[in-house]
Structure 1
Amino acid sequence: MSHHIETAPDTKIFVEDEGEGQPVIFLHGWPLNNRMFHRQKQAIIENGCRYIGIDLRGYGQSDKPEENYSYNIFASDIQQVIKELELSNYTIAGFSMGGPVALRFAVKFADKDLKQLFLLGPAAPSFTKRQGYELGMDKEEVTDLMEALEDDRRSALENFGKNFYYQDVPGDVRAELLELSMQASKQATISSAEALRDEDLRDEVGHIHVPVTIFHGKHDAICGFEFAEDLEKRIPNAEIIPFEESGHGLHYEEAEKLNKEMLKRLR
């Protein structure tokens, strides 16, 4: 089953909704959509849980309004989806950019039914370097990426994808990555990169009191493993599960281990 849920005037969010049982809400990374989780979706459904895969606005099959895209806007949309589907006792799994979106949701929008967070290679607490924080990319590097997206989005996304995996993955896997990336709107891709460059969650993640599990590739060249180590220090009830054979694409490179570790915590 799929839904198109209106979360704001003239903006509908596409949601895949399959299986029965405890809901697990999946939030994709930049610049993908929920189809990236098809290996997790199958495991979730087969093990008695309900897969809720959201295409963030501007991505996949969701509407693509011409506006700014921020963590707050994404998190507000998630809140409306949860209300519309009357979800309870739910877990949120956020990959890459979906990680800080999940964290922002947990701080500002969550209700008592949020059970736990899964962060998969999260781009948090800050994707870029800033005063007192030396992890991540320089802000200028992200600005350069935004300009490249403006000039030739396909080429810019192809270059981005070169750093996605640690393992030598088949060509069709890289082709799928680019295909999903090109389904996003140009505006969403650039504006979301701006959010990744400018947003900083360091001061708010300490207010999260549900269990948080951080699944992170040791060879992640996009969101370094140091992000996970920093988050573990800042979040009161956080645990890191390292993935020794993965880069950023742990959902593919070590899918079996990821599925097993998530299901262990869902039970």
Structure 2
Amino acid sequence: MPADLHRNRAAIARPGFIRTPDGAELFYRDWRDEGAAGHGKTIVFVASYSLPSDMWAYQMLPLARQGFRCVAYDRRGHGRSSDPGGGYDYDTLADDLAAVIDALDLSDITLAGYSMGGSEAVRYLTRHGSGRVARLVLIASTLPMLAKTPDNPDGIDRACVDAFQNDLMMDYPQWLADNARPFTGPNASQAMIDWVREMALRTSQQALYACNETVSRGDFRAELRDIDVPTLVVQGDRDVSNPLELTSQRTARIIPDARLVVYEGAPHGVFLSDAARLSADLAAFASGTARER
């Protein structure tokens, strides 16, 4: 694979940052509780479009206290990572994930991707292989394909993408305000909603636009058949961002060794609405003790 020629150039740029082969610097966090009794297995978290690694706090903290090593990073143009002005295609984003994994020399990992991050995780596996990955978790992902096309007639019409991109260029803060409650669910506090909005507002507008275009054009229907690690697929049945029947149900049918777990009544933001349950499911799956439900 062409990416392999440059993977070893990824390095720790300075404390807390990894430099990618094309010069972007990615902020990362590496949480471990040295005093916790546990097996030390590693979970690598790939965040949502528009959100930085902070979004995983309510999974990373309890899991680290159980003895897991929890690694997450800010996608380029997001959070504390640099804003290089390009590289928002899935190949480059998968190479960024590879840079994190390689620079930290991680192995036997559980790779957990949320929303767009799930697609990046899949592209990492099909582009870089599963040598370092033992398991995959796809949470409320955009997989396998969102766009409406003649061979995907139930997909999302291009007009919806165009409307969002118009809102992004005209009044993104108002769009966030209008859509925060459907994202977080009815039980989220106003303070929690404000926290999510603040994180999203820190993201580069250019990255938002480019990543949205990448997501809208993504087609992983063939690629999913090549996933060769056990996979847990998680989604809420009240997800208005990525409808369950369009995304996770189809994804779980395509991946050879996949199991779908549906959170009843949960919105897109299951990492907040069902934080404790998601953490427990991640712990059981990563440690190999998950049971059929």
Cα-to-partner distance string for 1:186-212 (whole Å, 9 max, x where unaligned): 100010000111111111110001011
Q: Post-superposition shift, 1:168? A: 3.2
Matched, 1:221 2:240: yes
Give the TM-score, by structure 2 length: 0.87
SS in 2 for 1:248: coil
SS in 1 for 2:153: coil
> Is contact 1:14–1:61 with CA below 8 Å preserved after alignment?
yes
Output the amino acid matched with 2:167: A
SS in 2 for 1:93: strand
Matched, 1:243 2:243: no
SS in 2 for 1:32: coil
Matched, 1:185 2:204: yes
Over the aligned positions, Cα root-mean-square deviation in angstroms equals 1.6
Quote the Cα distance in structure 2 between the aligned partners of 1:68 and 1:10: 11
Question: Which residue of 218, 226, 230 corresponds with 2:250?
Answer: 230
Matched, 1:253 2:273: yes
Quote the Cα distance in structure 1 between the aligned partners of 2:26 and 2:101: 12
> Is contact 1:129–1:136 with CA below 8 Å preserved after alignment?
yes
Quote the Cα distance in structure 1 between the aligned partners of 2:154 and 2:119: 15
Cα-to-partner distance string for 1:58-98 (whole Å, 9 max, x where unaligned): 10111111125111111100111111101011111101111
Structure 2: stretches of 5+ with no match in the other structure: 1-13, 35-39, 288-293
Most deviating of 192-201 and 161-170 = 161-170
> Is contact 2:25–2:82 with CA below 8 Å preserved after alignment?
yes
Give the TM-score, by structure 1 length: 0.95
Quote the Cα distance in structure 2 between the aligned partners of 1:162 and 1:99: 23
Matched, 1:263 2:283: yes
Matched, 1:10 2:23: yes
Matched, 1:204 2:223: yes
Quote the Cα distance in structure 2 between the aligned partners of 1:68 and 1:142: 20
Question: Which residue of 194, 203, 215 corresponds with 1:175?
Answer: 194
CA radius of gyration, larger in: 2
- Residue aligning to 2:94: 75
Runs of 4+ in 1 over 6 A off after TM superposition: none
Quote the Cα distance in structure 2 between the aligned partners of 1:131 and 1:241: 29
- Residue aligning to 1:145: 164
Quote the Cα distance in structure 2 between the aligned partners of 1:134 and 1:162: 28
- Residue aligning to 1:94: 113
Quote the Cα distance in structure 2 between the aligned partners of 1:164 and 1:109: 32
Q: Post-superposition shift, 1:2? A: 6.0
* Paired positions, count: 267
Q: Post-superposition shift, 1:242? A: 0.9
- Residue aligning to 2:58: 39
Output the amino acid matched with 1:233: R
Identity %: 26
- Residue aligning to 2:10: none
Cα-to-partner distance string for 1:87-122 (whole Å, 9 max, x where unaligned): 011111101111111111111123412111111100
Quote the Cα distance in structure 2 between the aligned partners of 1:34 and 1:184: 12
